[in-house]
């Protein structure tokens, strides 16, 4: 449960809400997601988003801090232990963070991050089982402390490295049936996230729309906690492909343009509050 909550905090919160603005959230949902993101024990939302935006902006170049072209080991393990180069630091400073700077919840978490980290990430998960259901301190420390934190930490690191695992390999004709991950995930759509990062349904681990985070956002929309969910439908994809051919523009640009234009006709299939009235 704690691993699920921390993953939701990073995927639905830091990633889809704050980094890509793929939907809007009420204050109560933001507070919930901020606490869940803190539980994951990563850095603050502000720092995470800034680095993620740098990753998108310079995707697969030398300036990408998680450059997936250097392989899974690099983007998952090595990159997270390397300091940014002076050139990357300079580009990081240039990342536009004005939207997050106006977000009181993000700035509160940034200011008190270490205090929240000690309380939410360490003390509460380790202390509660000892206090309320007689768990031994050693079990609680190693399982709910280190093991839980380790698993959720690596799950969230996958956001930057999963493209090496779940994605189609260029020129690799055997990848469809040789990659076991496909049978678990049934999708290689992870590249789509880099084409339309504003689509709330782009799964971090390769799924599209049917993953836990997309469902969580739809439930929040039904409860009127999330609004303005941005996504595409087949009609928009068709329009984007026509635009792409007519204007000879990249598909990413056409999708982004249509996504911005047809905000209110997006998605009719998610749960609507009226169904519950």
What does the block give as tokens for 174? 């055997």
**Nearest 5 degrees, angle CA 127-CA 132-CA 134?**
90
What does the block give as tokens for 109? 């978490």
Closest to Zn ion by CB, 65 or 197: 197
Closest to Zn ion by CB, 197 or 206: 197
Q: How far is the CB of 20 from Zn ion (least distance, A)?
A: 6
Closest to Zn ion by CB, 120 or 217: 217
- Residue number of the CB closest to Zn ion reads 197
Number of residues lying near Zn ion (CB under 5 A): 1
Q: How far is the CB of 98 from Zn ion (least distance, A)?
A: 18
Closest to Zn ion by CB, 197 or 259: 197
Do residues 187 and 206 make contact, with C-beta atoms less than 8 angstroms apart?
yes
Show contacts with Zn ion in window 178-217 (CB under 5 A).
Answer: 197
Q: Which residues contact 166 (CB under 8 A, 6 or more apart)?
A: 181, 185, 187, 188, 190, 205, 206
172 half-sphere exposure, CB direction, 13 A CA radius: 12
Q: Which residues contact 58 (CB under 8 A, 6 or more apart)?
A: 64, 91
Closest to Zn ion by CB, 162 or 236: 162
What whole-number distance in Å separates Cα of residue 45 and Cα of residue 127? 25
Q: How far is the CB of 194 from Zn ion (least distance, A)?
A: 8
What whole-number distance in Å separates Cα of residue 84 and Cα of residue 90? 9
Q: How far is the CB of 117 from Zn ion (least distance, A)?
A: 23
Q: How far is the CB of 15 from Zn ion (least distance, A)?
A: 6
What does the block give as tokens for 185? 């995930």
Ramachandran sector of residue 185 (left: φ over 0; alpha: ψ -120 to 50; beta: rest): alpha
Q: How far is the CB of 53 from Zn ion (least distance, A)?
A: 8
Closest to Zn ion by CB, 52 or 218: 52
**Site residues (vs Zn ion, CB under 5 A):** 197
């Amino acid at each position: 449960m704690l691993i699920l909550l921390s993953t939701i905090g990073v995927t639905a919160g830091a990633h889809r809400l704050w980094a890509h603005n793929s939907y809007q959230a009420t204050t109560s949902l933001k507070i919930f997601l901020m606490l869940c993101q803190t539980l994951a024990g990563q850095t603050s939302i502000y720092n995470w988003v800034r680095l993620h935006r740098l990753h998108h902006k310079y995707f697969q170049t030398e300036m990408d801090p998680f450059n997936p072209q250097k392989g899974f080991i690099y983007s998952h393990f090595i990159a997270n232990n390397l300091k940014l180069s002076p050139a990357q630091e300079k580009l990081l400073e240039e990342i536009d963070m004005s939207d997050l700077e106006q977000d009181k919840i993000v700035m509160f978490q940034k200011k008190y991050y270490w205090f929240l980290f000690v309380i939410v990430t360490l003390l509460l998960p380790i202390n509660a089982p000892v206090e309320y259901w007689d768990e031994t301190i050693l079990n609680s420390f190693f399982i709910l402390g280190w093991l839980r934190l380790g698993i959720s930490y690596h799950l969230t690191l996958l956001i930057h490295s999963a493209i090496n695992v779940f994605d189609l390999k260029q020129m690799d004709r055997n990848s469809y049936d040789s990659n076991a991950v496909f049978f678990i995930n049934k999708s290689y759509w992870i590249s789509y996230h880099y084409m339309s990062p504003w689509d709330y349904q782009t799964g971090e681990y390769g799924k599209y729309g049917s993953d836990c985070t997309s469902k969580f956002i739809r439930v929040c929309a039904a409860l009127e906690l999330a609004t303005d969910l941005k996504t595409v439908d087949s009609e928009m994809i068709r329009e984007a492909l026509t635009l792409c051919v007519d204007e000879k523009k990249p598909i990413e640009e056409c999708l982004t343009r249509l996504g911005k234009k047809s905000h209110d006709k997006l998605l009719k299939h998610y749960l609507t509050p009226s169904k519950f009235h």
